[in-house]
């Protein structure tokens, strides 16, 4: 077991629910807003998912990096190997059960959309991205395969430090996100603060791998003012190398534990993100095809193709 009782108690105070030895689930803010018909996640606008049907989870609370902008308490769980790995079925069933527990209070809220809360008891969109690094979990391929067998759609987010693990997946997620947080090694080491040797080189190996993967690929840039919101030409070279289907440029948000490492003044405005996106477009030939202003995020692609909308019911 990798989580002690003190760590578990701290994570539960933050709204997490621990599943087995190394997994966790947490209700996303956008899922809550969707249930109350207040708003929805930008992924709903960009890719046609349904925010109230999302399960935000991770099969590995461990992480290799200590990113400055991370909203988690990164002092808790640093490492690159899990012990006593749980089976995929155990993780999935545990996440569903814990998610239902977390949602139970909404039944007493008179403002909740009754149809949505009923549907939310069986999530369809699994965001394998809550915390930690999912590719540390060696049974990830089996987890994705089981989720697909049950008729679910999977979004996997990785920091790209295990390219061989990604390459060996015999079941790819519906959409694969790779975090690209810096235009060069110097800035990468400042912002991601990796604990593993050759992390920048490993990330680049993953970028080189992406064009060969037969699935939807996305590079996500989380941008911090006066830190990594710069060097559009260098970012563009990396984007061209990876040749992803989409590129998301998103502003750093001062929430959670990130507020202890960065300031509110480090949050770029939506206008800054959009202007930087235009710079990236000028070097790559990509186009801005969508945006969500209150999330401070812009979506780039070669053209506004209908393929970006997930056909998943």
Structure tokens at 43: 């992924």
The 10 Å CB-count burial string (b at 16+, else e) for 289-311 is bbbbeebbbbbbbeeeeeebebe
Rounded average pLDDT over 75-100: 88
Rounded average pLDDT over 128-152: 95
Rounded average pLDDT over 120-133: 93
Half-sphere exposure of 154 (CA within 13 A, CB side): 25
How much is the mean pLDDT over the chain? 92
At 307, the pLDDT band (50, 70, 90 cuts) reads: low
At 124, the pLDDT band (50, 70, 90 cuts) reads: very high
At 250, the pLDDT band (50, 70, 90 cuts) reads: very high
pLDDT for 221 equals 97
pLDDT for 11 equals 84
Rounded average pLDDT over 174-180: 96
pLDDT for 154 equals 97
HEC assignment per residue over the chain: CCCCHHHHHHHHHCCCEEECCCEEEECCHHHHHHHCCCCCCHHHHHHCCCHHHEEEEECCCCECCCCCCCCCCCCCCECCCCCCCCCHHHHHHHHHHHHHHHHHHHHHCCCCCHHHHHHCCCCCEEEECCCCCHHHCCCHHHHHHHHHHCCCEEEEEECCCCHHHHHCCCCCCCEEEEECCCCCHHHHHHHCCCCCCCHHHHHHHHHHHHHHCCCEEEEEEEECCCCCCCCHHHHHHHHHHHCCCEEEEEECCCCHHHHHCCCHHHCCCHHHHHHHHHHHHHHHCCEEEEEEHHHCEEEEECCCCHHHCCCCC
Rounded average pLDDT over 56-74: 84
Does 242 score more than 60 pLDDT?
yes
Does 278 score more than 80 pLDDT?
yes
Does 53 score more than 60 pLDDT?
yes
> What is the share, in percent, of the chain residues with pLDDT greater than 70?
95
At 76, the pLDDT band (50, 70, 90 cuts) reads: low
182 vs 47, 188, 200, 239, CA distance in Å? 25, 5, 10, 11
Spatial contact of 95 and 128, defined as CB atoms under 8 Å apart: no
- Encode pLDDT of 183-198 as tens digits: 999 999 999 898 988 9
pTM of the model: 0.92
Does 59 score more than 80 pLDDT?
yes
Spatial contact of 22 and 47, defined as CB atoms under 8 Å apart: no
Does 293 score more than 80 pLDDT?
yes
Does 66 score more than 80 pLDDT?
yes
Third-level CATH fold of 5-308? TIM Barrel (3.20.20)
pLDDT for 72 equals 75
């Amino acid at each position: 077991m990798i989580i002690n009782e003190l760590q578990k108690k701290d994570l539960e105070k933050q709204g997490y629910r621990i599943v087995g030895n190394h997994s966790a689930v947490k209700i996303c803010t956008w899922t809550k807003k969707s249930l109350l018909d207040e708003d929805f996640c930008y992924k709903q606008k960009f890719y046609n998912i349904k925010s109230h049907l999302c399960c935000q989870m991770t099969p590995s609370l461990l992480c290799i990096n200590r990113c400055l902008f991370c909203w988690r308490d990164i002092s808790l769980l640093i490492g690159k190997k899990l012990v006593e790995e749980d089976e995929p079925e155990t993780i999935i069933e545990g996440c569903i059960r814990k998610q239902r527990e977390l949602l139970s209070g909404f039944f007493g809220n008179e403002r909740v959309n009754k149809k949505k809360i009923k549907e939310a008891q069986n999530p369809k969109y699994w965001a394998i991205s809550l915390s930690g690094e999912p590719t540390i979990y060696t049974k990830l391929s089996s987890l994705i395969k089981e989720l697909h067998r049950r008729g679910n759609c999977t979004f996997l987010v990785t920091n790209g430090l295990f390219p061989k693990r990604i390459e060996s997946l015999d079941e790819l997620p519906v959409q694969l996100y790779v975090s690209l947080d810096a235009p060069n090694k110097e800035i990468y080491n400042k912002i991601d603060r990796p604990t593993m040797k050759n992390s920048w080189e490993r990330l680049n190996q993953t970028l080189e791998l992406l064009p060969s993967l037969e699935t939807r690929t996305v590079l996500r840039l989380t941008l911090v003012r006066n830190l990594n919101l710069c060097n559009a030409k260098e970012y563009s070279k990396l984007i061209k190398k990876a040749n992803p289907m989409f590129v998301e440029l998103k502003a750093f948000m001062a929430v959670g534990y990130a507020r202890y490492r960065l300031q509110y003044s480090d949050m770029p405005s939506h206008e800054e993100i959009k202007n930087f996106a235009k710079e990236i477009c000028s070097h790559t030939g990509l186009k801005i095809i969508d945006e969500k202003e209150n999330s401070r995020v812009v979506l780039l692609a070669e053209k506004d193709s209908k393929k970006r909308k997930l056909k998943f019911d």
